[in-house]
Amino acid sequence: MRWLVAVVVTGLVIAGGYVLLLNPERVTLHLTPDRSVTPPLAGALLVAFAAGGCLAAFVAGIGAGRRGWRSWRARRRVRHEERRASSTTRARDLVWAGDYARARAELLQSGDDLSVDAARIVLLAETHLHEGDPAAARRVVEEGLHEVGLEPRLLDVLGEAAERAGDLRAAADALERARVAQPESPRLTRPTLRILEETTR
């Protein structure tokens, strides 16, 4: 590549010298109303071409820089998503293994904002549920609902946490909202009916 650049530069220098040799005449250029110069015609042409080439290279460089910046941000976003997915998988495996404290630490120490990831909020709430702390699980889910919205998975866990805490009316309400958001889910229909029956007794 360096040899190619050297050959091109040498060719341009030779071509420029040849043009200067063929066009020794001078031309008057007015820089301001009161100031003018009389460079060789060929020199003025070469300077004009060089200026145009520099301008084109500058514009191309800006475009390449913007593309490079977008590409870097996209790669960074992909790496971040991969790290978060790997962290979520490790936390899920720890929950399955019954190591709820380590699973919770994995979810909290990654530096991610849990409030925008429903799957991670669910896992965090489940660590509290499995440890017999439905109040903490309910608090985690309710905070997540403010950010994520009426996510059926969060409402399902909220219903379970409320049921374990003995608040059957809140449990039924949460599961009913989850069923409305995802009516085709059999997981949400049967618990809702059971809890509603218990609350009406």
Give per-residue pLDDT as tens, 122-168.
Answer: 888 999 998 899 999 988 888 888 887 778 888 888 888 888 888 88
In a domain, 176, yes or no: yes
At 97, the amino acid letter reads A
In a domain, 15, yes or no: no
In a domain, 117, yes or no: yes
Give the pLDDT confidence of 1-36 residue by residue, as tens digits: 677 767 766 776 677 666 666 666 777 766 777 777
Among candidate residues 150, 152, 149, 153, the one with its CA nearest the CA of residue 124 = 153
In a domain, 68, yes or no: no
Q: How far apart are CA 155 and CA 145, in angstroms?
A: 8
pLDDT of residue 185: 65
In a domain, 134, yes or no: yes
Answer left, alpha or beta for residue 149, where phi above 0 means left and psi between -120 and 50 means alpha: left
Q: Find the CATH number of the domain harbouring 175.
A: 1.25.40.10
Give the number of other CB atoms < 10 A from CB of residue 58: 10
In a domain, 85, yes or no: no
Residues 6+ apart with CB under 8 A from 187: 156
pLDDT of residue 187: 62
In a domain, 48, yes or no: no
Q: Where are the beta strands (DSSP E) in 14-167?
A: 29-32, 35-37
Q: What is the mean pLDDT of the chain?
A: 77
The total number of structural domains that make up the chain: 1
Pick from 138-142, 175-179, 180-184: least confident:
180-184
In a domain, 185, yes or no: yes
Is residue 45 over pLDDT 80? no
- pTM of the shown model: 0.57
Provide the residue range defining the domain that includes 150.
113-199
